[in-house]
Amino acid sequence: MSHKLREVIRNISVDCVIFGYEHSTLEVLLVKRDVEPYAGMWALPGGFVKKGERIEDAAKRVLAQMTGVTDTYLEEIGVFDELDRYPLWRVFTVGHVALISPEHYSLHAGVDTRDVQWFPIEKIPPLPFDHSKIVAVALEKLRKRVRYQPIGFEILPEKFTLPQLQRLYEVVLGKKLDKRNFRKKILSMHFIQKLNEKDKNGIRRPAYLYTFDKKKYEKLKEKGFVFEL
Amino acid sequence: MSHKLREVIRNISVDCVIFGYEHSTLEVLLVKRDVEPYAGMWALPGGFVKKGERIEDAAKRVLAQMTGVTDTYLEEIGVFDELDRYPLWRVFTVGHVALISPEHYSLHAGVDTRDVQWFPIEKIPPLPFDHSKIVAVALEKLRKRVRYQPIGFEILPEKFTLPQLQRLYEVVLGKKLDKRNFRKKILSMHFIQKLNEKDKNGIRRPAYLYTFDKKKYEKLKEKGFVFEL
DNA sequence: CCAAAAGTGTTGAGAGTACACCCATGG
DNA sequence: CCATGGGTGTACTCTCAACACTTTTGG
């Protein structure tokens, strides 16, 4: 990338905070930097915006190149502009977040996978630049968002169980929820549909599988609601 | 400003959407451009970020210089990056919103006031660049925000009446609200305090005056709530 | 048959909604 | 004394919150 510096806008970059949900925890996707500064450190996937390129396209491009993650809806979370955030010269970066379902992607397809890894949010290594700040802002936005919009569709497998969805909410909200009230509330919104299948994987009593009703899900996301338990 | 081009970052600017509430309508503060491109047109107050300057500081500086409005909390609403939004070269702009109480400011103190004016949101003239888009985004954010956070403190006079506050909500939400239910709801949150004074200005029955309880107001803003009537 | 997680209903309290009349003032 | 907007209360409905036992499976 750096060998094409003349193609890029040298003072504007993008960074992506990709959240995934697996093993009952929230995880963030990090890549090992292969260029200076901070080569060798784990960092958010990011890079400079090219001349003639839209910011969102830059974020998608960078993400695909560095991690193999494609077709993701990236949401802007703000500009990070501390004067010395980039040590060599002044760079403004536009932060983005996305939620994805880890199982849908083979990370960095075809390239060395050791350089791309999921990290549980409580075990994120020290990050270069202001990347810790960016992750913190992304997480805060996610926590606010969950109260007013449905989540899960982007981050859970296509078929999922209610206990899975509940754990996702618990992880994001950071508190335990009452099983019965959670089910009642979620089901009353009708954005998920029960299937006639059960989850085989569990070694306990199998749970019923559900899928998202994408139309109703998107409508609720537009309209907003209130989730308080 | 343009005679100091060497001091500025030529591809990053800020623009401010300043909402005020007066004469029972939402208004936006516009300035008449005195430089090319689009000299002579009404536009959002905005300008380039200087080298070594933070974005938020740039927004505050530009706003103070162009309109006389100071001491305002500006909130970032996103980056606008269409390729041809600025006709001469590529410029990314960071949009900001603020709510202010018009009566608190003498516009462009000491300078020609004809160049700074409030426009009711339904009577905004054609704007240059992508400024209409920026206003639209700002308005949309305001409409979402009002459902989850209290508003009024920033945009109403220090002493105000309940009917005034209700009209503000009606204007922002775009619908009529029931008087009794509005009062019940607002008063039950305890972020405003009744005074023992009445509003003399009205030519009808005078209404009681209230003030905001700043602490409770800020706490509610942090915590969020749900406003549905 | 035991351990572990899934599934299921009811009740009481509090908030939301709908709705109509009297009051204070200026002209 | 009249026109205009300010101010007030109640009853019904619905949603929220708290809470415990039975069911299904694998080992």
Residue A96 belongs to some domain of the structure: yes
Residue A150 belongs to some domain of the structure: no
Q: Is A203 on the interface with B (CB under 8 A)?
A: no
Domain boundary among A101, A121, A145: A145
Is-contact B128 B33, C-beta < 8 A?
yes
Could you tell me if B82 and B181 lie in one domain? Answer: no
Could you tell me if A189 and A90 lie in one domain? Answer: no
| Cα nearest neighbour of A56 on chain B | B81
D26: residue with closest CA to C1': A203
Could you tell me if A75 and A114 lie in one domain? Answer: yes
Residue A154 belongs to some domain of the structure: no
Could you tell me if B46 and B134 lie in one domain? Answer: yes
Measured CA to CA in angstroms, residue B229 lies from A223, B145, B179, B193, B220 at distances of 15, 15, 10, 21, 18
Provide the domain count of chain A.
Answer: 2
Structure confidence at residue A211 (pLDDT): 97
Cβ of B54 within 8 Å of Cβ of A79? The answer is no
Tens of pLDDT, residues B171-211: 999 899 999 999 999 999 999 999 999 988 767 899 999 99
Could you tell me if A129 and A216 lie in one domain? Answer: no
Cβ of B83 within 8 Å of Cβ of A55? The answer is no
Cβ of B51 within 8 Å of Cβ of A90? The answer is yes
Could you tell me if A91 and A115 lie in one domain? Answer: yes
Residue A155 belongs to some domain of the structure: no
Residue A153 belongs to some domain of the structure: no
CATH number at residue B167: 1.10.10.10
Tens of pLDDT, residues A157-194: 999 999 999 999 999 998 999 999 999 999 999 999 99
The boundaries of the domain holding residue A114 are 2-145
Strand D bases contacted by the protein (CB, 7 Å): 3-10, 16-20, 23-27
Own/partner contacts of A61-68, CB < 8 Å, gap of 24 or more, are A62/A14, A62/A16, A63/A16, A63/A18, A63/A98, A66/A31, A66/A108, A66/A116, A67/A18, A67/A29, A67/A31, A67/A105, A67/A107, A67/A108, A67/A116, A68/A105, A68/A106, A68/A107, A68/A108, A68/A109, A68/A110, A68/A111, A68/A116
Could you tell me if B7 and B95 lie in one domain? Answer: yes
For residue B24, the SS3 value is coil
Tens of pLDDT, residues B18-40: 999 988 899 999 999 999 999 99
Residue A117 belongs to some domain of the structure: yes
Instruction: Measure the CA angle with vertex A41, ends A35 and A46; round to 5°.
Output: 60
Looking at the DSSP bridge assignments, the partners of residue A80 are A93
Could you tell me if B141 and B164 lie in one domain? Answer: no
CATH number at residue A12: 3.90.79.10
D15: residue with closest CA to C1': A185
Strand B116-120, strand B25-32: pairing: antiparallel
Could you tell me if B24 and B105 lie in one domain? Answer: yes
Cβ of A12 within 8 Å of Cβ of B12? The answer is yes
Domain boundary among A118, A145, A172: A145
Q: How many CB atoms lie within 10 A of CB A25?
A: 16
Of A54, A76, A226, the CB nearest to B78: A76
Residue B200 belongs to some domain of the structure: yes
Tens of pLDDT, residues B124-178: 999 999 999 999 999 999 999 999 999 999 999 999 999 999 999 999 998 999 9
Tell me how far apart the alpha carbons of residues B214 and B166 are, in angstroms, rounded to a whole number.
19
B97: nearest Cα among B116, B110, B84, B78: B78
Could you tell me if A172 and A205 lie in one domain? Answer: yes
Query: Does residue A209 register a pLDDT over 60?
Result: yes
Could you tell me if A189 and A213 lie in one domain? Answer: yes
Nearest nucleotide to B228, CA against C1' atoms: C16
Q: How far is the CA of A60 from the C1' of C7 (A)?
A: 42
Q: Is A91 on the interface with B (CB under 8 A)?
A: no
Could you tell me if B112 and B203 lie in one domain? Answer: no
Residue B202 belongs to some domain of the structure: yes
Of A9, A81, A144, the CB nearest to B11: A9
Domain boundary among A110, A145, A180: A145
Cβ of A81 within 8 Å of Cβ of B144? The answer is no
